[in-house]
Chain A
């Protein structure tokens, strides 16, 4: 099997029924997709398969043979965050961070698909993603901001707190 992962064609040696999540995390060491519930209920493992958000834990590797996979590692770099990553940072849309990867990938697909800044539409698009910190408001704020084309100073959050004051978390 072969997958094109974040633009890089990659041979896959895992078995055909290995979940895409395990291929990414265990075989390839790509750890942004999280193993949350591993039964399709939480959305922490969502990646893009040929541009569509997909639960990697529910996806047998053989069913996506030859597909293009995008994970958070393919969005931006620490020095050059993607618009979604910038907005999540600026709006402080992550607390514990466990749901963040899946939230960002679903958000990216929503934005790529021409989604608007309508909050209900954003909620619908992220409806399969559970944030147990219940930080939904800021996540929706972040997605709406990207849709509106807002740009951010990555070192300053929406509340005005310099990220460097938070123990250098930026």
Chain B
């Protein structure tokens, strides 16, 4: 059991208490960390519990959207961005979505038997930036550059621009298992730029840049996408199966984006 549980009551106090993040376990909603403690896989010495940290504000300024780290996953639906709504709605079930936080979902590591971090894909497709704090202080960077360092940093907020269109497609997950097998998110900006990203691959969510380059030809984009990622091979699905189905999901997302023109 933890010897020290810290409950900051403001964002600045959270930053101060997190410090360089060394030996500190962050709990947002608890849905990721609590089973680790229950099953004895984690015995944290120092815990930062963000319940009262005031990091759950959502600010919409024109097309610019800023989401606090402890915003609940289900609150994303209120932004009215189709792809993000669908992606968030595909996370586990309603009770989990009302407890789990955006920051936790971005920072989560590989599961014991499945990929995790569904929102990484949708937010990569939104070209989101992340403001975080850690050993070198606060910084703002793209989600893509943030993800490799996510375990060492405290997310403060996520920022992105409302897209002209957005879409999401996922393999259905098996009954009783709540992790997404494979999913693709896509957006189109006002100037016609297409961004695509996948989750359920090996490692964190990843942009599908080869597929983006070929986006005008969905068949080619789907075929190209398999070069952009390495495939997870776990109890949910084999790498072979994911490789066969990624092109299908890419085509579905591009079709959805086309329909919303």
Chain A residues in the interface with B (C-beta under 8 A): 15-17, 19, 38-43, 46, 52-55, 57-60, 62-63, 106, 124-125, 127-128, 130
Contacts and interface: CB of A to CB of B under 8 A. Distances in A.
Nearest to A63: B51
Contacts of B29: 58
Contacts of B176: 41-42, 130
A35 B31 CA distance: 15
Contacts of A39: 35, 38-39
Contacts of B27: 17, 60, 63
6 contacts: A38-B38, A43-B93, A53-B98, A54-B99, A60-B34, A128-B178
A17 to B, nearest CB: 5
A17 B35 contact: no
B60 interface: no
Interface of B: 1-2, 5, 7, 27, 29-31, 34-35, 37-39, 47, 49, 51, 92-96, 98-99, 176-178
Given A17-B5, A41-B178, A53-B94, 9 more contacts: A16-B7, A38-B38, A52-B98, A55-B95, A55-B99, A58-B29, A58-B99, A59-B99, A128-B96
B172 to A, nearest CB: 13
Contact of A53 (B1, B39, B95): B95
Given A38-B35, A39-B38, A62 B5 contact: yes
Contact of B30 (A38, A53, A58, A130): A58
Contacts, number: 84
B5 A124 contact: no
A16 B49 contact: yes
Contacts of A15: 1-2, 5
A19 B34 contact: yes
A20 to B, nearest CB: 9
B51 A62 contact: yes
